Chain A
Amino acid sequence: MSKLQHNAISRRSFLKASALTAGGALLAACAAPAAAPAGDSGGDAGASMEMIEMRLSAWADVQDAVVYENMVNAYMAQNEGVSVSVEQYPGGYYEKIQANFAADDSADVLYFQGWIWQAYAENQVIYDMSDYIARDGADDFFPGGENYDNQTLWQGGRYMTPTDTGSLVIYYNKDLFDKKGVAHPQPGWKWEEFQQIIQDLSYEEDGTKFYGWGQAQGWNGAYGRSTTFMRRNGHIEWDRITEPTEAYWDNEDIASALQYLVYDAIANDWSPGPEVVEGGGVGVDTGRVAMYLEGPWVMPRLQGELATTEEGINFDVIEAPTGTADTNFTFGHVHGHVITSPSAYKDEGWDLIKFILGEEGQTIIANGGRMCGAPDNIANIWGEIASGVYGFENTDAFANTMRESSISVIFGEGSQIQAYGGGPITVLWDKLLGQTESAAEALAIAQPEIQSHLDQYWADRA
């Protein structure tokens, strides 16, 4: 009788079979991705009879998954024959995008922040949409202005669309102002008034500290959140915003802004230091900080189901204070979509992007908690939705800020410095946050280091 009949397979044979199966499965798993691209990259216009399957990347927050699932469902309902799948890359969004490009497996349409995509344009892995824009008369989707152009144009080509934005405005706790009898800030307020309010609203009560200002730790303790104050009197720390060649950091306006807002504010307990913020429990969302500069994404923590405190924060917003330049230099984030050069569905990708930028798409974005791309849409679509959900009044602040906004700096490939710092700028901030040097001392050291970085950046390009 055979072994099977006896059901007497030996242990050795069983282990051999297991090893064979495991090895075979491993080979099959590795072979499958090699087979797959042949189907994807082989598609062309001639395959239009078949369902077009596009891939769209979405930012890795939970709310973005919801926004873009709603978006593609609405788009597909109007576009039979096109299927769009949304993919997120948590735990390293840009690293995964790079890896996908290296593997020749990038999505068709990618979501980017406005100061990150330039290296990809330099390497021509994302597509210049200028021809599409001209063909379809789509200029209206691009609000214009230096900030929007800085974040969507690169060397004359339009690579990214302004899908959603994030203007940084001052969020203030109305109850803390009222408690101390301090008048709420009004549009057009100045730097000096801002400084006084910070001090007036910093106090201790029953052993608990309350701070007038929150500028420490994380994004709040970074270069990108400080430009509005650094540039308040019109001095810009670069000769130009996009790919500067000269650095002008060692300047009195910059020194005084950073000395006050970072160094002095922490030393005098007008602002919690990074170690306090890291310990948790101290922020505008917990009711212990009167003001900070933040984007619209912080509102769910202030009011609503996701609010940090049960009762929420009674807040409003206002544009950042100005100096003698009378202009708001706040960093206005522009985020948007690019079409990847390897995509076989560029036409369809552009069509999808136009839908996202249109009224229906922008309404889906606003309803999902993201701020619309253009100032007019911010005012007309997003403002009403957001104020209804989060209970604030000054909806104009966001649109106005985007109209006047700027960005800190933009570089191409290989720069340690980017919009939120990096390289010698991060070292400068570490000194201020750790109070190891005054702003003037730290800037005197940082200036030649930053200039050296610029020189190296241009030398690498040469």
Chain B
Amino acid sequence: MTATTSTPAIQTEPQTRRRMSAAQRRDLRDGLLFTSPFIFGVLALWVGPMLYSVFLILHKWNMLAPPKFIGAGHFERMLNDPLVGKSLVNTAYYTFIGVPLQLVVAFALAVMLNQQIRGLSVYRTVYYLPSITPAVAFAVVWVQILNPEFGVLNEVLHWFGLGPINWLFEPGWAKPALIIMSLWLTGFQMIIFLAGLQGVPKELQEAAEIDGANAWRRFINVTIPIISPIIFFNMIIGIIGSFQVFTTVFIMTDGGPQNATLFMVLYIYRNAFELFRMGYAASLAWILFLIIMTFTAIQFFFANRWVYYEGRL
């Protein structure tokens, strides 16, 4: 007999999957039941139309006759359509100038509202209210604010000897006007920043102060890193939202003057419902989706270099 050393047999899980207990099955069933309205809504109103729009990319459809297969025809059209480039440039302008400004304004408001002052809850409500105003009402009000003749904005500029500016009627000023208007809607981002600021540990601030850091250094080296995930989140949401701007532009300028505010979603809408080009509109929508996804992925890629997550080594 050969003496052998053998390693103890490794205990493995049984080959057959353990059957769910009655309680687990009940839990699963209840969970699916509770979420069924939401799941049904997502499938019927979101996933389903998205899948159909993939089908439409390869088809010409005017909503009146059955879809007709045209292969890559829409992409050929896109390459020769000057308004595609125009709308993308307009959208990029609005997004990459507007979003940083929105972040700065929202953060500044959050810092101001993170003080212990009288009437704080009133101030917080007042600054948050515009972001829950219906978009149509908001647009109508801002049409008046931006009116070159009677608008409040030009009146304020006049106090400082500036203007008047033909805000929504001059191509060079129409996009800046919409960006200024978007700063009024930073209430949601402000609330998120406020929550982040209130989560900054006081001990870290005190420790930095003991080490001789002044208020600015504490802000830059303690507060900003701690809330960098919040900044990152607001930046992602802001860019995604800005790429999809539609309602205010549709009401206020309808893409004018001279296509200066022809943003991508507005151009998609026009192709779909005014020009009977539902397939082309679907193709444009997917291109926009890919662009947004790409920018989001780029942001995530670079996030590691500046976003600090507590607990991560």
User: In whole angstroms, how far apart are the Cα atoms of A273 and B166 in the complex?
Assistant: 11
Binds B, one of A117-125, A193-201, A224-232: A117-125
Check: B301 CB closer than 8 A to any chain A CB: no
Interface membership of chain A positions 97-131, coded 1 if the CB is closer than 8 angstroms to chain B and 0 otherwise: 01101100000000000000001100111000000
User: In whole angstroms, how far apart are the Cα atoms of A124 and B66 in the complex?
Assistant: 12
A1-57 residues with Cβ-Cβ distance < 8 A to B are 12, 15-16, 19-20, 22-23, 26-27, 30
Interface membership of chain B positions 167-211, coded 1 if the CB is closer than 8 angstroms to chain A and 0 otherwise: 001110000000000000000000000000000000000000000
Q: Choose one: B36, B62, B258; the contact of A427 (CB below 8 Å).
A: B258
Binds A, one of B5-13, B105-113, B125-133, B270-278: B270-278
User: In whole angstroms, how far apart are the Cα atoms of A120 and B64 in the complex?
Assistant: 7
User: In whole angstroms, how far apart are the Cα atoms of A316 and B166 in the complex?
Assistant: 35
**Inter-chain contact B40/A275, CB cutoff 8 Å:** no
**Inter-chain contact B258/A414, CB cutoff 8 Å:** no
Binds B, one of A68-76, A300-308, A428-436: A428-436
Sampled A-B contacts (12; CB under 8 Å): A16-B30, A98-B64, A99-B63, A119-B62, A119-B64, A125-B65, A275-B148, A276-B149, A279-B147, A414-B277, A431-B258, A434-B169
Check: A384 CB closer than 8 A to any chain B CB: no
User: In whole angstroms, how far apart are the Cα atoms of A102 and B63 in the complex?
Assistant: 5
What chain B residues lie within 8 Å of A92 (beta carbons)? 273
User: In whole angstroms, how far apart are the Cα atoms of A450 and B275 in the complex?
Assistant: 16
What chain B residues lie within 8 Å of A414 (beta carbons)? 62, 275-277
Q: Choose one: B30, B64, B150, B256; the contact of A125 (CB below 8 Å).
A: B64
Check: B57 CB closer than 8 A to any chain A CB: no
Check: B229 CB closer than 8 A to any chain A CB: no
What chain B residues lie within 8 Å of A26 (beta carbons)? 37, 40-41
User: In whole angstroms, how far apart are the Cα atoms of A273 and B168 in the complex?
Assistant: 13
Interface size class of A (residues with CB under 8 A): 35 or more
What chain A residues lie within 8 Å of B40 (beta carbons)? 23, 26-27
User: In whole angstroms, how far apart are the Cα atoms of A27 and B43 in the complex?
Assistant: 13
A90 to chain B, nearest CB (A): 14
User: In whole angstroms, how far apart are the Cα atoms of A433 and B273 in the complex?
Assistant: 27
Which of A101, A119, A274, A430 is most buried by chain B, counting CB atoms within 10 A of its CB? A430
Chain A residue at minimum C-beta to C-beta distance from B35: A19
User: In whole angstroms, how far apart are the Cα atoms of A416 and B262 in the complex?
Assistant: 14
B270-313 residues with Cβ-Cβ distance < 8 A to A are 270, 273, 275-277
Q: Choose one: B30, B63, B166; the contact of A275 (CB below 8 Å).
A: B166
What chain B residues lie within 8 Å of A279 (beta carbons)? 144, 147, 149-150
User: In whole angstroms, how far apart are the Cα atoms of A26 and B41 in the complex?
Assistant: 9
Chain B interface, DSSP helix/strand/loop, else mixed = loop
User: In whole angstroms, how far apart are the Cα atoms of A119 and B275 in the complex?
Assistant: 10
Binding site for A on B (CB under 8 A): 30, 33-34, 36-37, 40-41, 44, 62-65, 143-144, 147-150, 166, 169-171, 256-259, 270, 273, 275-277
If A275-B149, A279-B150 touch, whether A23 touches B37 (CB-CB below 8 Å) is: yes
**Inter-chain contact B65/A123, CB cutoff 8 Å:** yes
**Inter-chain contact A119/B276, CB cutoff 8 Å:** yes
User: In whole angstroms, how far apart are the Cα atoms of A26 and B30 in the complex?
Assistant: 18
Which of B40, B65, B148, B258 is most buried by chain A, counting CB atoms within 10 A of its CB? B258
Check: A359 CB closer than 8 A to any chain B CB: no
What chain A residues lie within 8 Å of B30 (beta carbons)? 12, 16
**Inter-chain contact A19/B144, CB cutoff 8 Å:** no
**Inter-chain contact A275/B64, CB cutoff 8 Å:** no
**Inter-chain contact A19/B258, CB cutoff 8 Å:** no
What chain B residues lie within 8 Å of A434 (beta carbons)? 166, 169-171, 257-258
Chain B residue at minimum C-beta to C-beta distance from A418: B274
**Inter-chain contact B34/A15, CB cutoff 8 Å:** yes
Chain B residue at minimum C-beta to C-beta distance from A96: B273
**Inter-chain contact A436/B62, CB cutoff 8 Å:** no
User: In whole angstroms, how far apart are the Cα atoms of A231 and B34 in the complex?
Assistant: 67
User: In whole angstroms, how far apart are the Cα atoms of A452 and B168 in the complex?
Assistant: 28
B276 to chain A, nearest CB (A): 5
Chain B residue at minimum C-beta to C-beta distance from A275: B148
User: In whole angstroms, how far apart are the Cα atoms of A273 and B170 in the complex?
Assistant: 13
**Inter-chain contact B169/A433, CB cutoff 8 Å:** yes
Chain B residue at minimum C-beta to C-beta distance from A22: B37
B273 to chain A, nearest CB (A): 5
Seed contacts A19-B36, A430-B258; 4 additional CB < 8 Å A-B pairs: A125-B64, A125-B65, A427-B258, A433-B257
